[in-house]
Amino acid sequence: MSSKPGKTAPRLLQDLVTYDPRYEERAGRNLLTTAPPHLDPSAEPSRQVPIRNCRHIFMAKDEQSVRPKAGEDPSHDTVYKIAAVCSKCRWHLDLLVDFRDYNSENKPCRTNTDYPVHHFIYQEDNYPQRDPFGNQNVPRSYRFLCSAPSCPVELKIRLLPPRFSEQDITILTNKMHLRRRLETARQLGGDRADAHMARPVDALDFLNTYLTDALNPQKGKSRIPLLNRKFLKTFGKDCDKILRSLGFTNAQETEEDGTQVEVWYLPKPPPPSHPLSYDTERTVIEDARHELNILILGFPESERSGVRHPMIPPQPSAHDIERALGCLDYDRKSRPAARHLSYEEDHPYYAGLGALGDFSDPLLLFAFARQMQVDLKNSPYYFECLQEIAKGRKSSLLEENVAILASQGQCNRKELAAAYRFIGMEMEHAQHLSDDFIISQFRARLQDIGPSQAEESRVQLRIIGQARQSEQIKREASDAIETYDQALSWLDLEAAHSDEFVAIMFTIKVNEKASSKAIATRAVQIIAEYRNSQRLRDFLENGIMQGNAEMDVAEAYALFDINNRAEALDLEVLQAHKDAYIQGNPASKTKYEQAYALIYTDQKECHKVQNQSGYVPRKQYPLDSWPVGCQNIGNTCYLNSVLQFLFTIKPLRDMVLNCNEHLEEISPEALATKRVGRMPVTPEKAEKAQQFVQELKKLFQHMINAPTTTVRPETKLAALALAKTDALVEVADQPAPDPSLGQIEGKPIMGPMPKPDGLTGSTQADSVMDDDNDSTAAEMDIEEDYTKDLNTTTDGRPDAVSMPQPPSRPPPVPPRPQATAEANSTLKKTIEGLAEQQDAAEILNNIFDLLSCAIEGNGTLRDGEQDDLIKQLFFSDVTTVRITPDGKTSSNSALQDNYMISPGHRNRPLYAALDDEFSLTELESDKAAKASKFELIDHASPIQIINVRRLVYEGGRTIKDESHLGLDSTLYLDRYFRGTRSHPEEELQALREKQWNLQQRLKTLECDKKRLTETAHKISLSEAVEETSHLLENHARADEANLIDLDEDTVPVYPGLVTQLRDRAGELQNKSRSIVEELKSIDEEINSIFMDCKDQPYRLHSIFMHRGTAAGGHYWIFIHDFQKGIWRKYNDEYVDEVESISDIFEQEARNPATSTGIVYVQANRADELTEAVRRDPQRVDIVMKDAEEQYEDIQIINGVEQSP
């Protein structure tokens, strides 16, 4: 594939306007056909276009043009030609845009399609463009093709030097020359000569007149006697060469009186030909006239009075050129109009992308994508361009795309150069080297460096592999570990270290650098095989190390007599300590080394030097009254959304900040009756949970006190929040979780609630993983047991049959292949994709669980479940009523902290999606029994979390449902309540039943619509029928033309069939239109049923957002500040006010960001329950006891006193 950058049409046009063939040498390159050299950010900014270059203003030469008409679309045989002349330098331009595609059904680029503008690649021709003698005044011609896959456009640009050279003009207009001519005329003509010399404008004017006559020949006007007085004093004999070059001819003639006279004859050009045909003598004359026109207009009006031809001001052809190139109204950034002619240049990064500074963000992304497509080799540079422009523009759309690209491994030049340097090469050279050579260099280098550097160099090699799109290099980067020794050294281990420690180092390495996961896994695999350790294999399988760890971080610190872990240590001093300890007690060498490694990594994590990337907040917000941003640690922006959300829940925040007053006493007595999520809480679990709360407290204090605009959540906090807390301690007495699920990149794959015993049916049932057939079945069994306790039939007797508990959600997605050991890795990949989507919801559940485990309860709920602040804020009591066809109902109540809804593949209001969950539905699992269920809220928590199931498993793959959920700023929950103040249960139930009937109708219609709109051919049924009628018609015609049947296969002709089909197509189309109408009106009717049910208003508080695909993307959160009445967007380190509210409530047209979680807060308590801003920034030199790590880094560095 060719690897050559291109230019979007607007860019090419801009370059054309500044390209001056006369000064090409000065520019150092051909501005039109070449891309600018890659910007060197460290060099002095330099001008791309020499100041002397003409900024052309092209004027139309209509008679030579085929102009596009306004509003006309080019067709399969369109060719536009814009002929023009620059009114400043008089160079001529022929711009030929050729759309001819010889009927290959191509689609030229145009606005509002995937290819909104052309992207031109210069096609080098084989003949030289320059004059061999260095003369710049020679014609140039350049050919470009559009790079869009189905765009046929070929562009030819021809530039021709002026017909009149500077010298010609001097001869024609210089006053000295004119005076001399007058004198010569007087000598020759005597009395007949004029008294006054010719004006400079006259030569041009006369010439113009002659040429006009030449183009419109009239009898008797073709001959000019040289002795004509005007001619003599204006041209004399000086201008012969000019006249001849224009096609004038001269001759000696004998007058009637016998005298010899010299005469000139006007040129005799051929008649006008089609503008697209070759240049003729006529073209030369037309060009000359255009130039004369320009030259004459260049005289001040006083000096050109009385010229023969009333001057018609030439018309600029900029619009025609833009229209022909399809960039008349490309998508511009909203700011004052483009400035094609300004001498001020765009930042070179724009030119790098073949774009202009006035491009809108989406168009810039298009330009970027085109460059990446045609010139992958330079992708790091293009990425850098995009990155820097995103920063410069402070555009969240661009920044999101940059973030997504970065998460996919895209790197910029700096990173790539660093990567090459790391393995001892220079980027500039390496680009010309083969993959094999680079790998051999890398291997050679591995021999001389230590294990820690080796790891890093593999990471760097991976970057190179990614940039070169080389699978071979990427493979080399991840599979470099082959032997047991290599595996140990990669993990910084020694043979004496235990399996436990192998697992610890694995986790640490992966935490430090998520991208090293593949290598780390390989290393542990090798160790597991070598040692034949089932525990390590299990660890790889499910992310859990069974049994107790030999040493934890606290112990490690204790071993070295270090009391204050929060303090940053001088690691060299620490190493000296270690050596001293080992000398004193060589038998415990392994133990000390382990402890040292643990402390080392703990220190690295806790005291990382602050991010020096030097991000400047886009808009300056007051430090002391604006929320802080959370820097992204690893691939976890959903975590930041969750943390920011929690911070704004005031009672929760206050509790965490004062957590020491609320922590549960960890003693067997205190924990004996404690139940969280229907599970007993072991001391280990409580301790873990309390560690988490302490970490969260630290973060919250940072968020309040940080003297900066951002804080960095600790990796430890993330690990605790993401880890499946129970797994470590509960594993012994729980059935092992499905071994194929475990942790992926440290994130739990199952719902955070302990799976088998889950009280909150919907919470865990809704984890995507439960869509796996097996686990659904398992969960149903367990819920069945649970149902036994609670179930009562309407007649009061326990429901002896005890049917399986109905799932509180729509039917599971189609089954996926059963995971086998071999298929594990691919399944894990799928799961990883799924898990990523659900993270925000899961992590929130996990955190609620941790908080409840950590704190003291203030009562008990059903089944001994601990009542506490978390329950009171987030958990609603929801009853599922199950109805069998014989009218028996049974019900079951559960506490749940969220509702899971589906967008349902169509844009609709939130109510409609909630209705799906709550209203009467047939139980898929129970089809035979024809049972159905609905749900009621018995008690609604003041904070309602609604999770949106965005991932759908369809046709063998996971896709994202991007349908829009319309949000109201106030949501009335009345219709889901059992009863309200104004509407007792019976009344509400009657309304509900009315609604269910309508919904039934809705469902039928949806099926009808599906049949009408979805056919196997990806077109609607009516279109299919219509197409068929066309086909038949064509057949019939072809048959008529042939007059005989050629073979037996011809379609039999039924008279009238074509018409019937066409009518039918029309009917179908009407039908589907009316269905859509009816769907809409039923939606409205359903909504109106509950019009006056407004006892339970909830106000929109926050929305978790995601942009990307099922495979990954970027998360952020919108949070409403009820005190200030504004919305903010929390996007990792940036917290910005949302300026246009439509960003939140409306859907974008392309790759829309979608809501994944929606939070409403009880209307009358919104102020009390939420508070978006709590800030009290401390100055840097005041070190807070609990929040010191963050800033201590600034001051410490080697300055820590170390007790000997």
Nearest to 474 by CA among 419, 412, 406: 419
Q: Which is nearer to Zn ion, 74 or 627 (CB)?
A: 74
| Region for residue 1056 given its phi and psi (left: phi exceeds 0; alpha: psi -120 to 50; beta: otherwise) | left
All residues at 6 or more sequence positions from 321 whose CB lies less than 8 Å from its CB, including other chains: 13, 58, 82, 84, 95
Written as one letter, the residue type at 190 is: G
Whole-Å CA distances, 448 to 335, 443, 452, 453, 504: 56, 9, 12, 10, 27
In angstroms, what is the minimal distance from the CB of 86 to Zn ion?
A: 3
| Binding window for Zn ion (CB under 5 A); candidates: 29-37, 108-116, 437-445, 1147-1155 | 108-116
In angstroms, what is the minimal distance from the CB of 341 to Zn ion?
A: 11
142, 156 Cβ separation under 8 angstroms: yes
In angstroms, what is the minimal distance from the CB of 156 to Zn ion?
A: 15
Per-residue 3-state assignment (H helix, E strand, C coil) for 672-734: HCCEECCEECCHHHHHHHHHHHHHHHHHHHHHHHCCCCEECCCHHHHHHHHCCHHHHHHHHHC
5, 374 Cβ separation under 8 angstroms: yes
* C-alpha–C-alpha distance, residues 940 and 972, integer Å: 12
For CA atoms 855, 873, 678, 640, give the dihedral sign.
negative
In angstroms, what is the minimal distance from the CB of 88 to Zn ion?
A: 4
| Binding window for Zn ion (CB under 5 A); candidates: 84-92, 270-278, 512-520, 615-623 | 84-92
> What's the CA dihedral at 396, 401, 407, 410 to 10 degrees?
-130
In angstroms, what is the minimal distance from the CB of 275 to Zn ion?
A: 22
* C-alpha–C-alpha distance, residues 859 and 844, integer Å: 23
Q: Which is nearer to Zn ion, 327 or 639 (CB)?
A: 327
β 876-883/889-896 pair status: antiparallel
β 908-909/921-922 pair status: unpaired
- Does 9 bind Zn ion (CB under 5 A)? Our answer is no
DSSP string for residues in 649-666: BHHHHHHHHTGGGTBPP-
In angstroms, what is the minimal distance from the CB of 312 to Zn ion?
A: 20
Q: Which is nearer to Zn ion, 16 or 146 (CB)?
A: 146
- Does 458 bind Zn ion (CB under 5 A)? Our answer is no
SS3 860: strand
- Does 109 bind Zn ion (CB under 5 A)? Our answer is yes
| Interaction mask 142-161, Zn ion, x per CB under 5 A | ----x-x--x-x--------
In angstroms, what is the minimal distance from the CB of 53 to Zn ion?
A: 8
Q: Which is nearer to Zn ion, 85 or 649 (CB)?
A: 85
| Binding window for Zn ion (CB under 5 A); candidates: 118-126, 420-428, 434-442, 908-916 | 118-126
Q: Which is nearer to Zn ion, 345 or 1078 (CB)?
A: 345
Of residues 27, 49, 54, 1159, which one binds Zn ion by CB under 5 A? 54
In angstroms, what is the minimal distance from the CB of 440 to Zn ion?
A: 42
First to last CA, the chain: 65
| Binding window for Zn ion (CB under 5 A); candidates: 81-89, 517-525, 821-829, 924-932 | 81-89
In angstroms, what is the minimal distance from the CB of 1111 to Zn ion?
A: 29
Structure tokens at 433: 């080297």
* C-alpha–C-alpha distance, residues 900 and 1165, integer Å: 24
- Does 402 bind Zn ion (CB under 5 A)? Our answer is no
| Binding window for Zn ion (CB under 5 A); candidates: 47-55, 315-323, 570-578, 702-710 | 47-55
| Binding window for Zn ion (CB under 5 A); candidates: 109-117, 344-352, 747-755, 1003-1011 | 109-117
- Does 720 bind Zn ion (CB under 5 A)? Our answer is no
34, 346 Cβ separation under 8 angstroms: no
In angstroms, what is the minimal distance from the CB of 389 to Zn ion?
A: 23
| Binding window for Zn ion (CB under 5 A); candidates: 56-64, 156-164, 337-345, 1134-1142 | 56-64
Q: Which is nearer to Zn ion, 80 or 1130 (CB)?
A: 80
Q: Which is nearer to Zn ion, 160 or 834 (CB)?
A: 160
Q: Which is nearer to Zn ion, 118 or 304 (CB)?
A: 118
Q: Which is nearer to Zn ion, 55 or 650 (CB)?
A: 55
- Does 327 bind Zn ion (CB under 5 A)? Our answer is no
Q: Which is nearer to Zn ion, 153 or 844 (CB)?
A: 153
Structure tokens at 907: 């844009």
SS3 444: helix
In angstroms, what is the minimal distance from the CB of 1121 to Zn ion?
A: 47
Q: Which is nearer to Zn ion, 292 or 416 (CB)?
A: 292
Total residues in contact with Zn ion, by rule CB under 5 A: 11
- Does 86 bind Zn ion (CB under 5 A)? Our answer is yes
- Does 84 bind Zn ion (CB under 5 A)? Our answer is no
Q: What is the CA radius of gyration of the chain?
A: 40
| Binding window for Zn ion (CB under 5 A); candidates: 80-88, 342-350, 726-734, 775-783 | 80-88
Nearest to 278 by CA among 62, 130, 64: 64
- Does 369 bind Zn ion (CB under 5 A)? Our answer is no
| Interaction mask 486-515, Zn ion, x per CB under 5 A | ------------------------------
- Beta bridge partners, 250, equal 264
In angstroms, what is the minimal distance from the CB of 636 to Zn ion?
A: 40
| Binding window for Zn ion (CB under 5 A); candidates: 89-97, 163-171, 995-1003, 1091-1099 | 89-97
In angstroms, what is the minimal distance from the CB of 212 to Zn ion?
A: 25
1192, 1183 Cβ separation under 8 angstroms: yes
Q: Which is nearer to Zn ion, 294 or 945 (CB)?
A: 294
Q: Which is nearer to Zn ion, 84 or 307 (CB)?
A: 84
Q: Which is nearer to Zn ion, 80 or 626 (CB)?
A: 80
Of residues 7, 56, 933, 1009, which one binds Zn ion by CB under 5 A? 56
Of residues 66, 79, 89, 553, which one binds Zn ion by CB under 5 A? 89
All residues at 6 or more sequence positions from 568 whose CB lies less than 8 Å from its CB, including other chains: 603, 606, 607, 1189, 1192, 1193, 1196, 1200
All residues at 6 or more sequence positions from 893 whose CB lies less than 8 Å from its CB, including other chains: 790, 862, 877, 878, 879, 880, 938
Q: Which is nearer to Zn ion, 58 or 1115 (CB)?
A: 58
DSSP string for residues in 591-609: HHHHHHHHHHHHHHHHTPP
Of residues 4, 38, 76, 88, which one binds Zn ion by CB under 5 A? 88
60, 348 Cβ separation under 8 angstroms: no
- Does 31 bind Zn ion (CB under 5 A)? Our answer is no
DSSP string for residues in 521-551: HHHHHHHHHHHT-HHHHHHHHHS---S--S-
In angstroms, what is the minimal distance from the CB of 159 to Zn ion?
A: 10
In angstroms, what is the minimal distance from the CB of 640 to Zn ion?
A: 41
In angstroms, what is the minimal distance from the CB of 296 to Zn ion?
A: 18
| Binding window for Zn ion (CB under 5 A); candidates: 140-148, 731-739, 756-764, 1081-1089 | 140-148
- Does 522 bind Zn ion (CB under 5 A)? Our answer is no
* C-alpha–C-alpha distance, residues 353 and 11, integer Å: 9
Which residue bears the tokens 């969960």? 779
Ranges within 245-274 binding Zn ion (CB under 5 A):
none
* C-alpha–C-alpha distance, residues 225 and 215, integer Å: 20
- Does 171 bind Zn ion (CB under 5 A)? Our answer is no
Overall residue count recorded for the chain in this entry: 1204
In angstroms, what is the minimal distance from the CB of 1011 to Zn ion?
A: 38
Structure tokens at 345: 């240049």
Nearest to 372 by CA among 331, 418, 410: 410
β 908-909/965-966 pair status: parallel
Question: Which residues of the chain form contacts with Zn ion (CB under 5 A)?
Answer: 54, 56, 86, 88-89, 109, 118, 146, 148, 151, 153
